[in-house]
Amino acid sequence: MAIRIVIADDADLVIVGAQSVLNADHRFNVVGTARCVDDLLQAVEERYPDVVVLNEWIHNLDILSVVETIKRTRPLVKIVVMGGLADGLLIRDLFASGVSGYLYKSDDLCELLVTAIETVMLDRPYLSPTANAEYLIAMQSPNANEQLDPEARQVLQLLAHGEHAGHIGERLGIDKRRVYWVREKLRRRFGAKTNEHLIQRAAAEGFIYPRD
Is pLDDT of 212 > 50? Answer: no
Q: Which domain holds residue 134?
A: 3-138
Residue 210 within any structural domain of the chain: no
Looking at the structure, do residues 93 and 121 belong to the same domain, yes or no?
Answer: yes
Is residue 160 within 8 Å of 209, Cβ to Cβ? Answer: no
pTM score of the predicted model:
0.82
Q: Please enumerate in sequence order all residues whose Cβ is within 8 A of that of 171, keeping only pairs 6 or more positions apart, or say none.
A: 158, 163
10, part of any domain = yes
- Each residue's pLDDT tens digit, 49-67: 999 999 887 766 788 889 9
85: domain CATH number? 3.40.50.2300
- Report pLDDT digits (tens) over 113-130: 999 999 999 999 999 999
10-51 pLDDT tens trace: 888 888 999 999 989 999 999 999 998 999 999 999 999 999
Same domain for 97 and 43:
yes
Rounded distance between C-alpha atoms, residue 4 and residue 147, angstroms: 31
Alpha carbons 26 and 168: distance in angstroms, whole number: 52
Q: What is the pLDDT of residues 82-108, one digit of tens each?
A: 988 778 888 999 999 999 999 998 898
Q: Can you give the CATH number for the domain in which 191 is found? A: 1.10.10.10
Q: How far apart are CA 160 and CA 6, in angstroms?
A: 32
How many structural domains are present in the chain?
2
Cα dihedral 121, 123, 124, 126, rounded to 10, equals: 40
